[in-house]
Amino acid sequence: MFELFLGIKYLKAKRKQRFISVITLISILGVMVGVMALIVVLSVMNGFRADLMSKILGVNSHLLVLNLSGPFSDYRQVEQDVGREEGVIAVTPFIFTQVMLNNGGNVSGAVLRGIDPDSAGAVIGFKDMIKNGSLSSLAETADDFPAIIIGSELAKRIGANTGSLVTVISPEGKLTPLGRTPNTQRFKVSAIFDSGMYEYDASMIYISLTDAQNFLALGDKVTGIEVRVKDVYQADSVAKAIQERLGYPFWTKDWKVMNRSLFSALKLEKLTMFIILTMIVLVGALNIISTLVMVVMEKTRDVAILRAMGASAKSIMSIFMFQGLLVGVVGTIAGLACGLGICQLLAKYKFISLPSDVYYISTLPVQVEIADVSFVAGAAVVISFIATLYPSWYASRLNPVESFRYE
């Protein structure tokens, strides 16, 4: 193909065309920087999303099974029915309520969760969260005080540590002849957990399911069932199947629904950053247009000679399209190499640190997704190709007779 041969040849500047060569290099750099920035930013945002999701799903289950009437008693049968559903790995009952926590006059609000120590570990990642103590300590009673596990930030706030005696106050209370009065009970801190999410570490406490039932006077009732599924991204489908199996008055809620606003904001932010950074690629594309326009003006005599020798307008257009497309492809490949290299360095050496007291992460998380890399590369090449259309079409419309008249 002589069109491709001439397109490559025109990229090699002669002594009198050094300025055009510099503009061509700037065009390549423009595309390269745009692609590199897109790869790095999208990979960091993917890493941030994956890290945030792992922390949220480390504290919460993949989906919940609840009852419209509130706490229910036939939860063992519900567990068996849910466990038979395809895609379900493990289930565990739980109790959920809001309480007050007091330690030596230091009071803080907290979210109390009653869990089954035998089955909760298969649904929630307690193994990675608990730093001091163990989950099995909830089944033990120390000095006639039931055990409790509290978050690390909450422990700092009320000045508690492993072995401390804390008082849990339930606002719902218990019914007496004088009316409803707050219910209080002392617990011994058997372990402290650190999930990496400040909101959870500063407000969550765990006690055994039996202790929660006794403390809240629920009898043999639970708030709901927590479920772990095989594929977290199919949690909504499994939740729908479970709801159809159980029927009224049960209803399900998966992690996507519980964190919809957060992940929608992250998705919107990712799209916005993609659109903004694509502008850098557009700058490179504009440089390609200016380069081709100058090359067409410089090669007017060459175009006239080719047309006189029988080259079609389509062939002339192909020459300059190949030239501009080569600039875009080279810039895209260079940008991919630099972007993936920076992501590899960020993941391996973690040389960009963040203040852990402000953010829940100390380094930038990086996760490269093939779909994003392919989309960015394709978009850069397409934009570069579109940038070649007008200068190439203009070159194909040159009249060889008019070009020779002034030579």
With helix as H, strand as E and coil as C, how does the chain read?
CHHHHHHHHHHCCCHHHHHHHHHHHHHHHHHHHHHHHHHHHHHHHHHHHHHHHHHHHHHCCCEEEEECCCCECCHHHHHHHHHCCCCEEEEEEEEEEEEEEEECCEEEEEEEEEECCCCHHHCCCHHHHEEECCHHHHHCEECCEEEEEEEHHHHHHHCCCCCCEEEEEEEEEEEECCEEEEEEEEEEEEEEECCCCHHHHCCEEEEEHHHHHHHHCCCCCECEEEEEECCHHHHHHHHHHHHHHHCCCEEEEEHHHHCHHHHHHHHHHHHHHHHHHHHHHHHHHHHHHHHHHHHHHHCHHHHHHHHHCCCCHHHHHHHHHHHHHHHHHHHHHHHHHHHHHHHHHHHHHCCCECCCCCCCCCECCCCCCHHHHHHHHHHHHHHHHHHHHHHHHHHHCCCHHHHHHCC
For residues 93 and 79, the answer to whether their CB atoms sit within 8 Å is yes
State the amino acid at position 393 in one-letter form: W
Q: What is the pLDDT of residue 16?
A: 58
List the chain pLDDT tens, one digit each, 407 residues: 777 777 677 666 555 566 667 888 888 898 899 999 999 999 998 988 888 888 888 888 899 999 998 888 888 999 999 988 888 999 999 999 999 999 988 889 999 999 998 888 889 888 888 887 888 888 887 678 899 999 988 999 998 888 889 999 888 766 666 666 678 899 999 999 988 788 888 899 999 999 998 888 888 899 999 999 998 888 889 999 999 988 888 999 999 888 888 888 888 888 888 888 888 888 888 888 888 888 888 777 877 888 878 888 888 888 888 888 888 999 999 999 999 999 999 888 887 777 766 666 768 889 999 998 999 999 999 999 998 999 889 888 877 766 566 55
- For residue 205, what pLDDT is reported? 93
Q: Is the pTM of this model over 0.95?
A: no
Distances (CA, A) of 223 to 52, 66, 113: 26, 7, 10
Q: In whole angstroms, give the CA distance from residue 249 to residue 203.
A: 30
pLDDT, residue 154, reads 92
- Rounded Cα–Cα distance for residues 160 and 300 (Å): 83
| Residue matched to tokens 């929630």 | 124
pLDDT for residue 381: 92
Give domain limits for the chain: 2-56+262-405, 69-247
Give the total residue count for the chain. 407
Which candidate, 166, 153, 148, places its Cα nearest to that of 100?
Answer: 166
The per-residue pLDDT for 344 is: 93
Amino acid letter for position 318:
S
Q: Which residue in this structure is represented by tokens 């218990």?
A: 174
The dihedral region occupied by 305, where left means phi > 0, alpha psi between -120 and 50, and beta the remainder, is alpha
Distant-in-sequence contacts of 264-273, Cβ < 8 A, 24+ apart: 266/45, 266/48, 266/49, 266/52, 269/45, 270/42, 270/45, 270/46, 270/49, 273/41, 273/42, 273/45
Tokens of residue 58, six digits? 């480390």
Q: Per the structure block, which two tokens stand in for 151?
A: 């978050």
- List Cβ neighbours of 224 (8 Å cut-off, separation of 6 or more): 64, 65, 66, 67, 93, 94, 96
Count the neighbouring beta carbons within 10 Å of the beta carbon of residue 316: 24
